Structure 1
Amino acid sequence: MVRFNILFLFLFLSLSAQRFPNPTVDSLLTNGINFILLEDYNSAEKNFQSLNQQFPDLPLGNIFLAAVNISKATDYNFELNEDKLDLLFENAEEITENYKDKYGENLWYHYFVALVNGYKSYYSIEQKDYLSGMFDGIESIKSFENCLEIDKNFAEAFVIIGNYLYWKSKKTEFLEWFPFIEDNTDQGIKFLERAVEETTYSRKLAVYTLIWVYINEKRFQDAVNLSRKILDQYPNNRFVKRALASAYYYLDKEKSIEILNQIKSSLVEDNALNGRNKIILNYRVAKLYFELKNYKKAGDICSKLLSDYAQTKTSDDVIIKRIEMTKELSEKIKENL
């Protein structure tokens, strides 16, 4: 679920190949999205606050302020600020409706609706409100389809719809013997590959989407190659490095360990290595060492984790689950020593 949520989030951190007609808005959006990809969340927030102040009749400032908060929480593994996000979504929806009253249901109106519903869907899924998440996600897809009806080259829609077609097919594979259930896997991949070729702002994000698709398709070297395309420009991007580590899990476990340790060092530098990140990353490294049959190294990491968390009282389900997984791995290690 976490992997899917991060992917879903990245899909909405983008604009289409058709730039927003106001050059100042275009510049603020481009710079703000770039700051998010650089994981400079403070600069991104200031950028989108400026967008809000200069263009209060557009919902984009509120939408992308929500994006900054969601991205930061996902990257740093901390709880979302529900009240703040609810207010941003409410403001964005109200401004969007006012925009429709003034300009009608044009391309950008449908794009705004798609973005708001897309982020609300991600947010609901994070809150484990899966029914609302599914509903908002479907509404977002419909709005992107409306964009394509107005402009068939609105490449942003290729990313979202391609992703939807691919993952819907994968999640319903067990129903394919029903006559009304279609397998849209290949069509979904083609949409995504077209988005990689045709988008401007969102090309790197379309590439990120394809990384996980290729991993799921067991095309691991393709996933590595795509990851490198983003890391050439954003060498410290932790979202992409997490995906790259997952691809290397199947190709080169030592390399996967190296990348996970880079992520951990990067979080330390940003003063963001909290309890969740620490145990998640160290557990993954320990498990890789175990699979490499380096039982001593794996055991040392597990022992350190269990020692660190022995006196910790927490109600965090993520940490509690990882502690239990670490205990189970530690027992398996002892059996092999």
Structure 2
Amino acid sequence: MRLSYHGFFLLILLGCFSLGAQTPDDASMSSRIEKGMVETIRNNFSGAEEIFWGLIRDYPRRPAGYFYLGATYQARMLDEENYDSLQAFTELMDTTIKLAKECLKKNENDVWALFFEGSAYVYKSYMDSKLGKMWRSYRNAARGVNRLEKVLKKDSSFYDAYLGIGSFKYWKSSKTRSLKWLPFFSDERDRAIPLILKAIDKGKFTQRVGRDQLAWIYMDYGKPNLALQLALQNYHEFPESRFFRWTLVAAYYHHGELSRAYDLYAELLEEVRQLPTNNHYNEIVCLLRMAEIKYQLKDYFAVEKLTSELLSLPLSEEVRKRTRKKRERALELKQKSVVELAKRNGTHSQVSGGMGE
């Protein structure tokens, strides 16, 4: 489910409402956005959407309500791995950009307008990447980060903006390391991490999301001990949050704590199975990782059972296409495990069943 886990370089602002939760000197709006963010972290998307629809009704010509409602739609889509709300999300982000530009025409120094415009482009870029539209994704991300950098030029104390900039610089460098010999593909990872740390330390609303983002970065950077520390901090604050548990379970896995990782994947598996919108995508994610763990522990009987369960899930054509590589890996693990079990029993191995294509 998590974007970093799926390996996209435009991880920039997953669910990162916190990146700009600070609002334009409006205590009422600020408190409502904070409440909506907490509801989203707790996976209470309907509650968050109700709050942000209220902001749109009360502030129809300001971009904040449209941005946070769109961000909530994105969070729900990513949590469910279901993109039925994609059109509504895109329209809300386009409205955010339009209203932000109107505000900038009235006042070119409106950092809030710049912030919301930039953040909307970044959110659009991530959904583009999920749809495989990588060039459009990169273009929107570059536009967004350009606006966030303009925010800092106008107000260097706008620390929340450092998170998006630092995240973009890190993941762009991480995913283009093989091209670092080219002058326009320099390695900025070491410079990017301090920007994110600054957002966590000094930003008004970026602490939780900054920790979550940096945990994924540390996993990628080969520092799983630091990743686990950050993931545990968020988990202890919101143990019910699936967002933070996806990060924690990956941190356990990267840290080599396989038993804890397995137990948490099993917990997430049972939870996603209870969701009325379950399309089996996240079941596949959990079952495959659980099978990987059992294979490493040489529990081949468990691997065969888990992969058989995975391969027998009834999938829509759309989910079948998106999970093809995962199901191929599951079949590979199943075949290897059957061979290992046959060796133990001194019998000839034969794998029955496949991917049901």
Q: Kindly provide the CA deviation profile for residues 100-141 of structure 1, in whole angstroms up to 9, marking residues without a partner as x.
A: 233334111211211111111112212222111111100111
User: Which of 223, 236, 243 matches 1:239?
Assistant: 243
Deviates more, 1:219-228 or 1:97-106: 97-106
Instruction: Give the corresponding residue for 2:264.
Output: 259
TM-score normalised to structure 2 length: 0.87
**In the alignment, is the contact (CA less than 8 A) between 1:17 and 1:198 conserved in 2?**
no
Instruction: Report the residue type matching 2:233 in the other structure.
Output: K
**In the alignment, is the contact (CA less than 8 A) between 1:165 and 1:188 conserved in 2?**
yes
2:12 match: secondary structure: helix
User: Which of 100, 117, 123 matches 2:121?
Assistant: 117
Per the alignment, do residues 9 and 329 of structure 1 end up closer, same or farther by CA in structure 2, a change over 3 Å counting? Answer: same
Residue 55 in 1 paired to residue 59 in 2?
yes
Structural mapping, 1:159-238, within 5 Å: 159-178=163-182, 181-238=185-242
Q: Distance in 1 between matches of 2:227 and 2:325?
A: 29
Residue 290 in 1 paired to residue 295 in 2?
yes
User: Which of 294, 314, 333 matches 2:317?
Assistant: 314
Q: Distance in 1 between matches of 2:185 and 2:274?
A: 48
**In the alignment, is the contact (CA less than 8 A) between 1:114 and 1:139 conserved in 2?**
yes
Instruction: Give the corresponding residue for 2:111.
Output: 107
User: Which of 5, 8, 12 matches 1:8?
Assistant: 12
Q: Distance in 2 between matches of 1:324 and 1:199?
A: 43
Query: Percent identical across equivalent pairs?
Result: 23
Q: Kindly provide the CA deviation profile for residues 216-267 of structure 1, in whole angstroms up to 9, marking residues without a partner as x.
A: 1221111111001111111122222222222222321111111111212332
**In the alignment, is the contact (CA less than 8 A) between 2:200 and 2:210 conserved in 1?**
yes
**In the alignment, is the contact (CA less than 8 A) between 1:275 and 1:319 conserved in 2?**
no
Per the alignment, do residues 185 and 9 of structure 1 end up closer, same or farther by CA in structure 2, a change over 3 Å counting? Answer: closer
Residue 277 in 1 paired to residue 282 in 2?
yes
1:155 match: secondary structure: coil
Residue 324 in 1 paired to residue 325 in 2?
no
2:205 match: secondary structure: coil
Residue 81 in 1 paired to residue 85 in 2?
yes
Per the alignment, do residues 313 and 137 of structure 1 end up closer, same or farther by CA in structure 2, a change over 3 Å counting? Answer: closer
Deviates more, 1:34-43 or 1:169-178: 169-178
Per the alignment, do residues 80 and 129 of structure 1 end up closer, same or farther by CA in structure 2, a change over 3 Å counting? Answer: farther
Q: Distance in 1 between matches of 2:184 and 2:52?
A: 44
Residue 299 in 1 paired to residue 312 in 2?
no
Q: What is the aligned length?
A: 335
Per the alignment, do residues 28 and 165 of structure 1 end up closer, same or farther by CA in structure 2, a change over 3 Å counting? Answer: same
Q: Distance in 2 between matches of 1:248 and 1:75?
A: 20
Residue 30 in 1 paired to residue 34 in 2?
yes
1:92 match: secondary structure: helix
Deviation at 1:276, TM superposition (A): 1.1
Instruction: Report the residue type matching 2:191 in the other structure.
Output: Q
Q: Structure 1: any 5+ residue segments left out of the alignment? A: none
Instruction: Give the corresponding residue for 2:349.
Output: none
Q: Over aligned residues, Cα RMSD in angstroms?
A: 2.1
Q: Distance in 2 between matches of 1:49 and 1:313?
A: 32
**In the alignment, is the contact (CA less than 8 A) between 2:10 and 2:125 conserved in 1?**
no
Query: Which protein has the bigger helix share?
Result: 1
**In the alignment, is the contact (CA less than 8 A) between 1:314 and 1:320 conserved in 2?**
no
Instruction: Give the corresponding residue for 2:347.
Output: none
Per the alignment, do residues 272 and 292 of structure 1 end up closer, same or farther by CA in structure 2, a change over 3 Å counting? Answer: farther
Structural mapping, 1:112-151, within 5 Å: 112-151=116-155
Q: Distance in 2 between matches of 1:308 and 1:265?
A: 15
Q: Distance in 2 between matches of 1:239 and 1:18?
A: 21
Q: Distance in 1 between matches of 2:83 and 2:336?
A: 32
Per the alignment, do residues 35 and 313 of structure 1 end up closer, same or farther by CA in structure 2, a change over 3 Å counting? Answer: closer
